[in-house]
C-alpha cells in the first residue's frame, strides 16, 4: 500500500507532520480530514514534482471546456440529478478526451465514497486550488450548483481578460512575422542580383546601398550564425522558464515592458482581487486564501509577493499593510482594502477593485491597438524608404551618366 508524507495543522493551529498508509491520495486526504486536520502538504513517497510538470504539459484542457463542464454540472445538480450520474453523463458528452477521462475518474471515486472536491484535487493540473476550495465551500453549505455556476462565470471573466490582451497582439505579431519573412527572402534571393548590377558599375554607392549590401552578404554567408542565435535564445528561454529563479527573472521583466507591462500588472491585480474576494466570501481563512492565490496568479513576481504577505499576516500584520510593502501593489488598492478591513466588507471591496482593474485593462488594450497600428505603418514605410534609396538612387545615378 502506498505511503504518504503530510504536513497539516490541527484546530489549535499547531503544525503536524507525519506519514500514513492509504490506497490513494484521495483516501489519504479523507483520513486526515476525519481527524479534523487542515492539510497543507500531502505527497506519496517516491513521487517527484517533475511528474506533475510532465502531466501539466501533456494533459492540457482548454479553459472553455472547464467552463462548459462547470455550467452543465451546475444545471444537472440543480435538477436534482445525483452527482455520480451527472458526472457520467458529462463524461460521455464532453469533447475533450483528456477531460472525459478525468471526469470518469472523478465519477468512480465519488461513487466509491470520496468527496467531489477531494477527487477534483487529484487533478490539480486541470482544477486549481481556487476551483477545489470553492467546490468544498459549496459542499459544506449545500449550494454546490450555485458555486459551480459562479465558477463558470469567473473562469469566463478571467479567460476573457487574458484573451482580450492576446487578441490585441495577434494582428501586430502577424504583420511583424510576415514583414520579417519578406525581408529575409529579399535579402537572400532578390536584392543580391540587383545590388550586383549596381556595385559592378563602379559608381560611388550611397550609404543606404552599402548598408543593404552588408546585410544581404550577412544573410547569405552567415545565415547559420543567425539561425544558431535564434535556437540559442529559444533554449535559454526554455531553461529559464523551467527554473524558479529564471521564471522570476522573466516574469519580472514582463512587468517592466512599456505599455504591455502595465496591462499585465492590472490583469494580475484584477485576478488577485477577484480570487481573494471569492475565497473570503466562501469562508476560506485569509492566510490560506493568499496561498491559493499565489499558485493561480500566473506570475512568479506576484507569487513571491503573496507568499511574503502570507508570512506577514500570520505574524499579526493586516492584509492591506502587508501588501503595501510591495512597489507592485498600487496604493489605491491597499487603501481600499484597509477600508474593507475596518468595515468588515473586505470581500465586497475587493470585488470593486477587481472590476476597476478589469475596466482599466479594457481601456489600455484598446489604446494599445490604436498605438500599434500607426507604429507598424511607420516601420513599414521606413523599410520601404531604405529599399528605395538603396536600389533606385544608384540606378538613377548610373542612368544619368549616359
The 10s digit of each residue's pLDDT in 111-170 is 887 788 878 877 877 887 778 877 877 777 677 888 888 778 877 777 776 777 677 677
User: What DSSP character marks residue 391?
Assistant: H
Does residue 210 have a pLDDT over 70? yes
Q: How far from chain centre, in Å, is Cα 194?
A: 47
Secondary structure of 263-312 in HEC code, one letter for each residue? HHHHHHHHHHHHHHHHHHHCCCCHHHHHHHHHHHCCCHHHHHHHHHHHHH
What is residue 63's predicted lDDT score, i.e. its pLDDT?
Answer: 80
Give the residue extent of every domain in the chain: 3-47, 62-152, 153-402
- Calpha distance 69→325 (Å, rounded): 40
The lowest-confidence range among 188-197, 354-363, 381-390 is: 188-197
- 94's CB contacts (< 8 A; 6+ apart) are 65, 68, 69, 100, 103
pTM, whole model, 2 decimals?
A: 0.66
Element (H, E) at 15: strand 15-21
Residue pair 76/87 in contact (Cβ under 8 Å)? The answer is no
Q: Running DSSP on this structure, what letter comes out for residue 62?
A: -
Q: Rounded distance, CA 78 to CA 89, Å?
A: 15
Do the two domains 62-152 and 153-402 of this chain adopt the same fold?
Answer: yes
Architecture of the domain spanning 153-402: Up-down Bundle (1.20)
Top-confidence residue, 21 or 270:
270
* Contact yes or no for 98/56 (Cβ under 8 A): no
**In contact, 148 and 63? CB cutoff 8 Å:** no
pLDDT digits (tens, 9 = 90+) for 237-284: 888 887 878 888 888 998 998 888 888 899 889 888 888 888 888 788
Burial environment of residue 23 by CB neighbours within 10 A (0 to 12, 13 to 18, 19 or more) = exposed
CATH number, span 62-152: 1.20.81.30
Give the per-residue pLDDT at 175: 78
User: In terms of pLDDT, which residue wins out, 284 or 354?
Assistant: 354
Amino acid at each position: 500500500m502506498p505511503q504518504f508524507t503530510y504536513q497539516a495543522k490541527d484546530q489549535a493551529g499547531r503544525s503536524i507532520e507525519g506519514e500514513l498508509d492509504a490506497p490513494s491520495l484521495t483516501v489519504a486526504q479523507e483520513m486526515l480530514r476525519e481527524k479534523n486536520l487542515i492539510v497543507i502538504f500531502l505527497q506519496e513517497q517516491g513521487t517527484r514534482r517533475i511528474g506533475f510538470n510532465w502531466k501539466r504539459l501533456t494533459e492540457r484542457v482548454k479553459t472553455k471546456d472547464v467552463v462548459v463542464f462547470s455550467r452543465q454540472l451546475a444545471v444537472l445538480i440543480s435538477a436534482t440529478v445525483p452527482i455520480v450520474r451527472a458526472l457520467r453523463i458529462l463524461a460521455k458528452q464532453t469533447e475533450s478526451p483528456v477531460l472525459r477521462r478525468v471526469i470518469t475518474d472523478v465519477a468512480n471515486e465519488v461513487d466509491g465514497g470520496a468527496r467531489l472536491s477531494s477527487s477534483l484535487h487529484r487533478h490539480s493540473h486541470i482544477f486549481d486550488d481556487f476551483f477545489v476550495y470553492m467546490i468544498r465551500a459549496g459542499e459544506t453549505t449545500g449550494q454546490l450548483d450555485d458555486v459551480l455556476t459562479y465558477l463558470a462565470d469567473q473562469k469566463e471573466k478571467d479567460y476573457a481578460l487574458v484573451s482580450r490582451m492576446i487578441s490585441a497582439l495577434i494582428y501586430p505579431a502577424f504583420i511583424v512575422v510576415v514583414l520579417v519573412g519578406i525581408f529575409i527572402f529579399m535579402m537572400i534571393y532578390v536584392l543580391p542580383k540587383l545590388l550586383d548590377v549596381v556595385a559592378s558599375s563602379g559608381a560611388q554607392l550611397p550609404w543606404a546601398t552599402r548598408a543593404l549590401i552588408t546585410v544581404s552578404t550577412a544573410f547569405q554567408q552567415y545565415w547559420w550564425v543567425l539561425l544558431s542565435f535564434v535556437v540559442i535564445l529559444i533554449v535559454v528561454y526554455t531553461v529559464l522558464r523551467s527554473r524558479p529563479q529564471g521564471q522570476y527573472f522573466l516574469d519580472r521583466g514582463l512587468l517592466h515592458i512599456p505599455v504591455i507591462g502595465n496591462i499585465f500588472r492590472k490583469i494580475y491585480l484584477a485576478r488577485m482581487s477577484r480570487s481573494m474576494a471569492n475565497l473570503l466570501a466562501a469562508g476560506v481563512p485569509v492566510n490560506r486564501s493568499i496561498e491559493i492565490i499565489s499558485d493561480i496568479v500566473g506570475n512568479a513576481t506576484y507569487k513571491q509577493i503573496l507568499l511574503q504577505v502570507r508570512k506577514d499576516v500570520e505574524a499579526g500584520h493586516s492584509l492591506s499593510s502587508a501588501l503595501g510593502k510591495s512597489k507592485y501593489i498600487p496604493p489605491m488598492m491597499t487603501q481600499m482594502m484597509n477600508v474593507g478591513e475596518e468595515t468588515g466588507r473586505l470581500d465586497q471591496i475587493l470585488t470593486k477593485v477587481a472590476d476597476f482593474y478589469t475596466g482599466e485593462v479594457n481601456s489600455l488594450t484598446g489604446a494599445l491597438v490604436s498605438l500599434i497600428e500607426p507604429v507598424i505603418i511607420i516601420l513599414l514605410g521606413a523599410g520601404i524608404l531604405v529599399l528605395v534609396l538603396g536600389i533606385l538612387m544608384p540606378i538613377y545615378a548610373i542612368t544619368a551618366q549616359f
